[in-house]
Every structure is written in structure tokens, then in C-alpha cells.
């Protein structure tokens, strides 16, 4: 069947072409039908646009960016087509992926539904891009916003492509996530306190988590919140995966269904036929994207464009955002806008945002005075570079050692070098946030959430407590008194001991997450389990194996069983799950006994350490490097390394006394001291002559 030079398609090729074409057409139809269904649900009032409701509050985690919407469609079509193709051809996707003929035709026909964003890098750029592109010059999309999350282990969907994991090894249906939560995550005795860590450990964890990961959820037509529990509506909506509430539920009476909207699918890596992946809509780098946003456009919208400063409202609070992005209770209140959309979720999070916006403006002001010839852009970028370095420094020097222990820190190369520099960049390492880290391991912090948000007065004695459930998405606490409470919040965060990380979750997050006026709310740890199933997360034992830890063959706590659990937790796991191979990663790992001197068990420690290794070694702009145009000078780095989170709190708020390490409770070895005694960031090393600036930025900078 060969003509001179020109190749006619073989019979096989014609057959494959037809199958793939049919599959894509089928997928296009399904997308159109689904879009119609969504608008019907909106028209009939099933999906609504009330951000004050608990569903509405969860939908603030949906994707909003047009870029995300476009990717959602691409992913939908290519996934549906993949599934259809598998069915109609009777060939598995792995076979399709390993056949040149199949792939060639797939690539040609699916082309219209691939993300064709072209990226050109400037290898000499002095600063990071806003969206994380071109950090890795060989792989410009590594760590970039709006790319698929990576995986340490392949997914285990029910159909191996995209249906959530719902089946046990026995073939029966897995127990409901809420039922597991009721069995394992509640304890009626008193609050459990971690003796020497402050709530700042929790608050910093959340702030950093938002820097590296934001998984978008589906949303309904016209930006409405999808409601998966409407009795009259179609139960087969592909965006839905509601959580069954057991009949004897201690909190949710007369309710059988907890809303749960699936994470959107992401186009696969390289647009090949592949199982479903989830998106990350923020940069994976620890690059203060919470402060500056994850796109050029966002960054611009947060700047004053004068003297390098960021926009603020009165009292140094963040600028106002969309009215519907939080829950307002008084005409004077407004929703905050920051680099990350989740800024309004809880006051402790808003407080860390506010702290770093203020630190940015404080430093920018000084740099602009020191270098009167600098443009707005240079002052902005140099300040941003310092802020990012401070975030990385605090995370690796102060935060991580409280979660992991010294062994893990050194084994995974996470230690901070007291010496000057550390050229660690390895271009073969991909920073990208891993699915298991985002959907499970780094949610360990949810167990540290305390039952209140509080303000501690300057006397370090007087507290004002607000029940946590009254503060979700409500900015009143940070805006009251012209922002004066922020100092009190920071004082509380760095003084009060934290709730310990274990299998117990406070009722404020387990029963009352996003409580609304109608009394509707969510269970956060149950959502975490369900999210793992939504993402096809492999089970606990599979992660044990991946981490080189003993795999459990029984629920006993001796060799061959759950060796890292105490008998009580092992018993609860047995009660919750029929078989050890069914244990969800989140439930199995959160209930492990901690590694010595750490705050997590060995399984989460392994995933968290591997991910933080990637954040450090995969970052070409890692703050500890020197002798490169993109790096700090040695004198500058020396200044950065002196700084602690405590000092930043002191420098921006009316805080006069604080202990040196604000992640550790006040004690004789970490006493309350005068802020003035803490080492100070001296900006002298940033002073440049005009000639030096010209040399760096070009003569008409
Ligand atoms: C009061 C504090 C907090 C609240 C109210 C909160 C609430 C939430 C909610 C509602 C989600 C989305 C759940 C879903 O639909 O799957 C989420 C995700 C997450 N949370 Fe928290 N959280 C808090 C603190 C923390 C802390 C302290 C950490 C870590 C130390 C943390 C880590 C995460 C991570 C890694 C995700 C996944 C993010 C993503 O993939 O988009 N959270 N949290
Ligand atoms: Ca980031």
C-alpha cells in the first residue's frame, strides 16, 4: 500500500482514525450536554450564587480565572474521549500510549484540545516571573501556575481514568468519609495541647500551603455554587461526589448528604491519553505568590506602581476586593483582595497576609530612599526578592524543624546553613506540588486548628476570644478598630500553645466549617478523605511501601501490623475500615504516632520532606545562592539570614515584646524580650551607585 514517496494510510490507521474521531465527537457532545445541565441547575435554583451560605463559601475555592475555565474544557474533552476510546477499541490507555500509530493519530486529532500556550524565556532575567514560568530554563512550565499537579504515585481511580475511588478491596463500597470522621476524629475530652509550639505553627502552615497549592473546584453556570445534595436534581452530575451522612450522626440531624464538588480535571501532561490530573492554579515555588499573585496581571493589580509599593487600604490593610468574595456583616466592612483569593477564610490567615504586605511596603520605602535613582519596577522587584527570601528562610529555618525532626531535616537536605551560601539548585528536579502532599499530607495542619480566633492585648494577659465558626470568611475581626486587632492576633498566634496534631479535630472544623445562618456546615477532615478519593489517591499501605515503611497486613500493633499506631488508633481504624488495604491515606497517616521530636507520623513526614526537598532544590532562584546575577550578594544574604518571623511582627505592628522564636512558646530558653534586641534587617548592602544600576539593568533602565 505504498505509493512513491507518499504514504497512504493503512487499514489499521483508517480504523484508528475513525475510533478516535468518534470518541472526540462523543466527548464534545457530552461537554455540550453537561454545560446545558449546569445552566438548567442554575435556572431552577439548585445552584445558587449566595456566598453567605455554607455551599457558597466552599465555592469560593472554585476556579474563577478564564484560563482555568478554558483548561477545564480541554481536560473534559480529552478525558471523555480517552474513556470512550478505551471502551470502543477495547484497548487500554497504556497500550494506546505505547503504540506509535495510535499516538500519532491521537496527537493530530486531539490537537485542537491541547493547551498550546507558548512560553519564551529570557535566560538573563534577573527576577522570577509572576506565574513561575522559566524558573527552569529547560522546562519552562515546571512549577508554573495553571499546570497539572504532579504525582509521587500513579492514581487509583475506580475506572483507572477518572472516577473517584469508591470501592474496597473486597469490592464493597468504602465507608462514608463522614462515618470515618465520626469514628476516628472526635474525642469529647478536653483540648489536646502541643506543649511547646505556638498557634503560629498552624498559621504559617496555612500561609505556606496557599503559596504552593490551590486546587480549583468545579463551579456552576454564572459562577454559582454547585449543589450536589438537591433531592430533585439529577444525581449523575459529573461535578458531584457528595458525602453520605450516616443516620445516627451526632451533629447533622435530619440530613443524609454533605455537599462535595469535585476538583476540576487538568489537561494531562503533554496532552496524551492519560488518567485524570488536578490543576494547581498558583505557582508551586515558595515565591510569596500569596502576596504578589500568580500572574503578571494579578501582580499589576496589587501594585501602586509608585516607588515599588503595594496597594493598601486604611491601617495598612489589604485593598478591597469583590463584595461577594467574603461574608460581610456591617456596611463598613469590605472583603480583602490579595495575591491569593483565600485571604478571607480566617482571621489568622488574613493577619499573615497583612504582615507581609506591610513588610513589603516598609522595605520598599527604605530601598527607594537608599536608591533614589531606582525606578518603581526595580524597587518593587528588589523588595519582592527580599520578601520571598524571608518566606523561604522562615519556612526552612523556623517552621519545618517544628514539623519534621532533625533526622528528616538532614536526610532530605532541608537544613538551613548558618554559613553564608548554599548553591543547591538542581535543574533535573521538578518543584511542582504533588497531589498526595496537597490532598493529604500537608493538610495535617487541619488537626492543629484551635477552636477560637483570639486577640491578645499588649499586657500579654487580656484575651478576647471569638469562636472560630463565627469568623469563617468574615473580615470583621481584622477590620474592627481600624486594623488594630491585627497586632493582637499576631500576639495570640505567637503566644498561645497550639492544638496538637493527632486524630482529633475540634468540633469547629469537624462539625461547623463554614457554618451559615441556616445551620448548614461541613466536616473538614471528612472533606479531606473525600478529596483524596476524588483525586484517585492510592491508599495508606501503598504510601507506606513507597516511603520504605513496613506495610500493615493486619490491624494489630505488632510486627506485620500497624506498627506506627497506638492500640487505640489501630482499634479505631479497624472499626472504621474493614480491611487494612482500604485505609485512606489521610485517616491512616494522621492517626500515626509522631516521629521523635516531630509533629507528624512517619508517612506524612516522608511525603512532606520529599515535597520540601523539591521546593528547595528545584528552585533556580533559591534564596541561599550567591555569585549569580539572580542571587543576593553575600552581604545581603547575611542580612536576610538574621531575620526571624518575630522581628517582622515587631517591625510592622505595635508589638514591643516578643520571644525570639515565635513558633515556640515563651519559656526561660525563649523568653519574652524587647523587640529592639532582635537582629535587624539592615538595607545598606542594597545601596547601589547609578553606574552599578546601569550595569545591572542596562543603561536606560
Ligand atoms: C482555620 C484554618 C483552616 C481552614 C478553615 C482551612 C480550610 C480548608 C478548606 C475548606 C480547604 C479545601 C478543602 C477541599 O475542598 O478539599 C482546605 C484545603 C487545604 N488546606 Fe486548609 N484550612 C485551614 C488551615 C490549614 C493549615 C494549618 C494547613 C497546613 C498546615 C492547611 C493545609 C491545607 C492544604 C494543603 C489544602 C489543600 C489546598 C488545595 O489543594 O487547594 N490548611 N483548607
Ligand atoms: Ca507560590
Tell me, in angstroms, the distance from the centre of ligand 1 to residue 90's CA.
40
> What pTM, to 2 d.p., does this model score?
0.96
Kindly state the average pLDDT of the residues 213-218: 96
Any ligand 1 atom below 6 A from CB of 284: no
Instruction: List CB contacts of 510: < 8 A, sequence separation 6 or more.
Output: 181, 185, 186, 523, 524, 525, 526
Confidence check: pLDDT of 235 > 70: no
* Spacing of C-alpha 667 from chain mean position: 33
Numbers of helices and strands, H then E, in the chain: 25, 11
Per-residue pLDDT band at 1 (split at 50, 70, 90): very low
Q: Is 667 helix (H, G, I), strand (E, B) or coil?
A: strand
Confidence check: pLDDT of 5 > 80: no
Between vectors from CA 305 to CA 302 and to CA 309, what angle results, nearest 5°?
70
Q: Cα(first)–Cα(last) distance of the chain, in Å? A: 63
Q: In this prediction, what percent of the chain has a pLDDT beyond 70? A: 98
Q: CA-CA distance, 211 to 482, in Å (whole number)?
A: 27
Per-residue pLDDT band at 645 (split at 50, 70, 90): very high
Average pLDDT, the chain: 93
Q: Which active-site residues does the annotation give?
A: 210
Q: CA-CA distance, 538 to 474, in Å (whole number)?
A: 36
- Residue 446, marked binder: yes
pLDDT tens figures, 44-72: 989 988 889 999 999 888 877 788 888 89
Among 327, 445, 508, which is best to mutate for testing ligand 1, by the most ligand atoms less than 8 A from CB?
445
Q: Which atom of ligand 1 is nearest to the CA of 215?
A: 41
CA separation (Å) from 67 to 70, 72, 278, 292, 476? 5, 9, 14, 18, 32
User: What pLDDT, on the 0 to 100 scale, is given for residue 183?
Assistant: 96
**ipTM for this model:** 0.99
User: What pLDDT, on the 0 to 100 scale, is given for residue 233?
Assistant: 63
pLDDT tens figures, 655-668: 999 999 999 999 99
pLDDT tens figures, 127-168: 999 999 999 999 999 999 999 999 999 999 999 999 999 988
Any ligand 1 atom below 6 A from CB of 71: no
Any ligand 1 atom below 6 A from CB of 434: no
Any ligand 1 atom below 6 A from CB of 206: yes
Residues 421, 473 contacting (CB under 8 angstroms): no
According to DSSP, residue 336 is labeled: B
pLDDT tens figures, 521-545: 999 999 999 999 999 999 999 999 9
According to DSSP, residue 277 is labeled: E
Confidence check: pLDDT of 394 > 80: yes
Kindly state the average pLDDT of the residues 91-103: 90
Confidence check: pLDDT of 232 > 80: no
Confidence check: pLDDT of 692 > 90: yes
User: Which residues lie near ion ligand 2 (Cβ < 5 Å)?
Assistant: 211, 283, 285, 287, 289
pLDDT tens figures, 430-457: 999 999 999 999 999 999 999 999 999 9
Confidence check: pLDDT of 190 > 70: no
Amino acid at each position: 500500500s505504498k505509493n512513491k514517496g507518499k504514504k497512504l494510510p493503512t487499514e489499521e490507521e483508517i480504523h484508528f482514525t475513525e475510533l478516535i474521531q468518534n470518541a472526540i465527537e462523543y466527548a464534545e457532545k457530552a461537554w455540550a450536554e453537561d454545560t446545558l445541565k449546569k445552566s438548567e441547575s442554575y435556572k431552577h435554583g439548585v445552584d445558587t450564587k449566595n456566598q453567605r451560605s455554607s455551599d457558597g463559601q466552599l465555592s469560593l475555592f472554585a476556579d474563577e480565572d478564564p484560563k482555568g475555565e478554558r483548561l477545564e474544557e480541554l481536560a473534559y474533552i480529552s478525558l471523555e474521549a480517552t474513556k470512550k476510546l478505551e471502551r470502543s477499541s477495547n484497548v487500554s490507555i497504556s497500550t494506546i500510549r505505547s503504540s506509535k500509530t495510535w499516538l500519532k493519530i491521537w496527537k493530530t486529532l486531539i490537537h485542537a484540545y491541547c493547551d498550546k500556550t507558548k512560553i519564551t524565556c529570557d535566560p538573563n532575567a534577573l527576577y522570577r516571573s509572576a506565574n513561575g514560568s522559566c524558573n527552569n530554563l529547560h522546562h519552562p512550565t515546571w512549577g508554573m501556575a495553571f499546570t497539572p499537579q504532579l504525582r509521587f504515585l500513579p492514581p487509583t481511580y475506580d475506572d483507572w481514568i477518572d472516577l473517584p475511588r469508591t470501592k474496597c478491596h473486597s469490592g464493597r463500597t468504602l465507608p462514608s468519609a463522614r462515618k470515618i470522621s465520626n469514628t476516628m476524629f472526635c474525642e469529647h475530652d478536653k483540648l489536646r495541647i502541643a506543649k511547646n509550639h505556638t498557634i503560629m505553627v498552624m498559621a504559617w502552615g496555612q500561609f505556606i500551603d496557599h503559596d504552593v497549592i490551590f486546587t480549583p473546584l468545579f463551579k456552576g453556570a454564572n459562577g454559582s455554587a454547585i449543589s450536589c445534595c438537591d433531592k430533585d436534581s439529577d444525581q449523575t452530575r459529573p461535578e458531584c461526589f457528595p458525602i453520605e451522612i450516616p443516620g445516627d450522626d451526632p451533629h447533622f440531624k435530619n440530613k443524609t448528604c454533605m455537599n462535595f464538588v469535585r476538583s476540576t480535571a487538568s489537561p494531562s501532561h503533554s496532552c496524551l491519553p492519560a488518567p485524570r490530573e488536578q490543576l494547581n492554579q498558583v505557582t508551586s515555588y515558595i515565591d510569596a505568590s500569596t502576596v504578589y499573585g500568580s500572574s503578571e496581571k494579578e501582580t499589576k493589580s496589587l501594585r501602586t506602581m509608585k516607588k515599588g509599593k503595594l496597594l493598601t487600604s486604611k491601617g495598612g490593610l489589604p485593598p478591597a476586593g469583590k463584595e461577594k468574595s467574603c461574608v460581610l456583616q456591617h456596611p463598613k466592612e469590605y472583603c480583602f483582595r490579595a495575591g491569593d483569593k483565600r485571604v478571607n477564610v480566617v482571621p489568622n490567615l488574613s493577619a499573615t497576609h497583612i504582615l507581609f504586605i506591610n513588610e513589603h511596603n516598609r522595605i520598599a520605602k527604605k530601598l527607594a530612599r537608599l536608591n533614589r535613582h531606582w525606578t518603581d519596577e526595580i524597587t518593587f522587584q528588589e523588595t519582592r526578592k527580599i520578601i520571598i527570601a524571608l518566606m523561604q528562610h522562615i519556612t526552612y529555618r523556623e517552621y519545618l524543624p517544628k514539623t519534621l525532626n532533625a533526622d528528616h531535616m538532614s536526610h532530605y537536605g532541608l537544613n538551613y546553613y548558618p554559613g553564608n551560601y548554599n548553591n543547591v539548585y538542581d535543574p533535573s528536579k521538578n518543584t511542582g506540588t504533588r497531589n498526595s502532599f496537597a490532598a493529604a499530607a500537608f493538610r495535617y495542619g487541619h488537626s492543629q486548628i484551635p477552636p477560637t480566633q483570639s486577640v491578645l492585648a499588649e499586657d500579654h494577659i487580656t484575651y478576647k476570644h471569638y469562636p472560630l465558626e463565627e469568623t469563617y470568611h468574615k473580615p470583621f475581626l481584622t477590620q474592627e478598630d481600624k486594623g488594630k486587632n491585627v497586632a493582637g492576633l499576631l500576639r495570640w498566634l505567637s503566644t498561645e500553645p497550639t492544638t496538637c496534631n493527632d486524630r482529633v479535630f475540634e468540633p469547629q472544623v469537624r462539625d461547623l466549617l463554614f457554618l451559615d445562618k441556616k445551620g448548614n456546615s461541613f466536616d473538614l477532615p471528612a472533606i479531606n478523605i473525600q478529596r483524596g478519593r476524588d483525586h484517585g489517591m492510592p491508599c495508606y499501605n501503598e504510601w507506606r511501601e513507597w516511603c520504605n515503611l513496613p506495610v500493615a497486613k493486619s490491624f494489630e500493633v505488632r510486627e506485620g501490623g500497624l506498627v506506627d499506631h497506638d492500640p487505640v488508633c489501630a482499634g479505631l481504624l479497624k472499626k472504621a475500615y474493614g480491611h487494612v488495604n482500604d485505609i485512606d491515606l489521610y485517616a491512616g497517616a494522621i492517626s500515626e504516632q509522631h516521629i521523635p521530636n516531630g509533629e507528624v507520623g512517619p508517612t506524612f513526614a516522608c511525603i512532606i520532606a520529599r515535597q520540601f526537598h523539591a521546593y528547595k532544590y528545584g528552585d533556580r532562584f533559591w534564596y541561599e545562592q550567591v555569585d549569580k546575577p539572580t542571587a543576593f550578594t553575600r552581604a545581603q544574604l547575611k542580612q536576610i539570614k538574621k531575620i526571624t518571623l518575630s522581628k517582622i511582627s515587631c517591625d510592622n505592628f505595635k508589638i514591643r515584646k516578643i520571644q525570639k522564636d515565635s513558633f515556640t512558646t515563651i519559656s526561660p530558653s525563649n523568653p519574652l524580650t524587647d523587640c529592639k534586641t532582635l537582629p535587624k534587617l539592615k538595607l545598606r548592602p542594597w545601596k547601589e551607585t547609578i553606574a552599578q544600576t546601569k550595569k545591572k539593568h542596562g543603561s536606560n533602565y
